[in-house]
Amino acid sequence: MAKLLHLSIFFLAALVLQCHCGEDDRKSHVVYMGDRPKDAASVASTHHNMLAEVLGSSSEARESLIYSYGKSFNGFVAKLSDKEVARIKEMEGVVSVFPNAQLQVHTTRSWDFMGLPESHPRLSAEGDVIVGLLDTGVWPENPSFSDEGFDPPPAKWKGICQGANNFTCNKKVIGARFYDLENIFDPRYDIKSPRDTLGHGSHTASTAAGIATNASYFGLAGGVARGGVPNARIAVYKVCWASGCTSADILAAFEDAIADGVDLLSVSLGSDFPAPYHEDVIAIGTFHAMKNGILTSCSAGNSGPNRRQVSNYAPWALTVAASTIDRSFSTKVVLGNGQIFLGNSLNIFDLHGKTFPLIYSGDSANYTAGADPELAAWCFPGTLAPLITRGGVVMCDIPNALALVQGSAGVIMPVSIDESIPFPFPLSLISPEDYSQLLDYMRSTRTPTATILMTEPVKDVMAPTVVSFSSRGPSPITPDILKPDLTAPGLNILAAWSPLGGASISPWDDRTVDYFVISGTSMSCPHVTGVAAFVKAAHPSWSPAAIKSALMTTATIMDSRKNADAEFAYGSGQIDPLKALNPGLIYNASEADYVNFLCKEGYNTTLVRIISGDNSTCPSNELGKAWDLNYPTFALSLLDGETVMATFPRTVTNVGTPNSTYYARVSMPSQFTVTVQPSVLSFSRVGEEKSFTVKITGAPIVNTPIVSGSLEWTNREYVVRSPIAVFNNMPSIFSSIDEQPQSKPKFKGPWEGSTSTIYHKKSTFKSMHRTDRTDGFRGLVSNNRLGYHKH
């Protein structure tokens, strides 16, 4: 019922507008054809000829074809009917065809909390690292993106600055592009350029790589805002607009970013619905990035705390959950009898301790305007009688981003959320239990009064804990790969903002800010991107898997007593930037390892060759477990009553000191036996590899959510830790791949024979998957300008 109450009429209207009726109507689809073709020059004509063969004429093919990919991988976007999709799927070289769906976009203190102070020495190589971000663009004039003191861009940079509508790059923001293949641009909220009108992209870019600058939100959260690699360069790829982010645009951005020469990618967006790897636009893009030596950090999503909701779960991507830092905010409500209730918001308005009449919205219906008490309880504009509410503190029954209580002294709403939400008037969000007490006080007191105090920063002694909105594992596709991979700060993060993005959750707020506080896995993801860039600067030759392993095996252990979902909430733990620089051992993996993983998932030789662009071979067509992927974690997914018996082969590479010996140390509840063979690894040189196996046995388990343990390789200098998770789980939502014809009708043509929500947390005043304004208040707003940034 609560979810229904939180739906807005804007949301329902959007659903109606997006409805397409008629089975034969042509709709935009992405046709994915694997790795970059050898003859890239002819790829567009190949796509045209494929369409002409299916559609019947060259002219129809020209009308249908929207975009061709060919620089970094192969594919195209075209308008197709269901029947035409079926024919395209059967063509030689086609891996998958899927709708061009819309995806959504999933500080001053956070870096200090993670142990990377501003005073820490910086490597000169940091200036050669290029961080690419797929997001809503950037506001280049923000102080966080100043290029003062920067040298020209690195010689390896091959990208462009797509200047339009007065947008310019500099030596900090060295590249910028924008994409709108489906023409979803809305002139009311968007600008046709890489310029950020929503704030989300500026926030993530500055979190990853912004320079150090003094910042605050109207005096709150004041301090020095900076990114993890302030000397690194930024390249932005604007794929998200007010109405969302399309699959076609996201793939086009991946293709350009790979060809432009970025070193790392940050993707704070994703889909709310799982899909097999070959139909998942983020999985496809990140695979080809990995193939080209680029690690992609992705937000895990904001669909927690339910299990199996994690997004961006491909094993070659780094999946990031969101956790707290040791600073939170408190907005107190003080009653006339002196009783104090702790609330949550970002209230910058000072009522100077003065008390005001406490008024219940349901008693203030504007009957003249046709409202009744039930409607008035929502506090929608026009539903309250101004003569009753003027000068009072109004209690609204429903969390409502559109609340407008004209002339009131303040507003109180009942909702328990992690994130602090800003409004353009005094407001406090209190728990439903406390709200009931306020109602009792109001009903039992002749002249009830209350006031709302200004928000104060408070110490969170429980930090870090994973926030409730952060999406949980296990992976809906491959549960034997533990996801998310790790966690990073994602709650109440202050970072750069667009002055067009609004200063609060309210659509009635005309104020502008350069820095804003929001929450979501969209905010945690660029923290990890920043640390990955920090490691890349120190180890430029490391592979994406090596960097990923370093981040995961050195993560700070989280307390499962404060996080009931354990590894499904936080993965390996909270990222530790300084320890990640020197992990001792790494679990490396190559493209061939991931291809072998796909074979075990049911992909045949024909398809893996198309995807990889080489002569990879699947040894058999039998499905297998993912246990032999050289992953830095161990996950054992079991059906109820299934025998506990699994062997995980692993190989580690010495990146620490020569002539070093590591000893295996296992921590696991006694119901399971974990055997490591060999249990001692000795290395004589840096770069040397050693292999071992981990065998887990035990009695069958039933209805067990998760049993946690760990394997640590230790010596006097290093602790290389990998979590172990054993759990009961249902079969995968999808078989990884459904039907794979061993042979497809061969397409005759010049290339013959060649074979996505922004994740800042939307508010609980749910804004149709808006991601950043507060990323936690699921708002009642239908476009990104008004939405809230959780992701």
Catalytic residues: 135, 200, 522
3-state secondary structure of 68: strand
Position of tokens 């990377």? 116
Q: How far is CA 375 from CA 414, 450, 764, in A?
A: 16, 24, 19
How far is residue 744 CA from its own chain's centroid? 36
Position of tokens 């100043």? 146
- Interatomic CA distance for residues 293 and 263, integer angstroms: 8
For the CA atoms of 87, 89, 91, 96, what is the dihedral angle to 10 degrees?
Answer: 160
Cβ neighbour number for residue 150 with a 10 Å cutoff: 15
Phi, psi (rounded to 5 degrees) for 587 = -100, 105
Angle at 11 between CA 105 and CA 82, to 5 degrees: 75
* Closest alpha carbon to 300 in 145, 490, 446: 490
3-state secondary structure of 673: strand
HEC letters along 186-220:
CCCCCCCCCECCCCHHHHHHHHHHCCCEEEEECCE
Angle at 180 between CA 179 and CA 185, to 5 degrees: 125
Residue 490: both structure tokens together: 């994602």
- Interatomic CA distance for residues 139 and 143, integer angstroms: 10
HEC letters along 49-90:
HHHHHHHCCHHHHHHHEEEEECCCEEEEEEEECHHHHHHHHC
Residue 182: both structure tokens together: 């489906």
- Which residues share a beta bridge with 413? 429
> In sequence order, which ranges of 353-421 are alpha helices (DSSP H)?
373-376, 386-389
The length of the chain is: 791
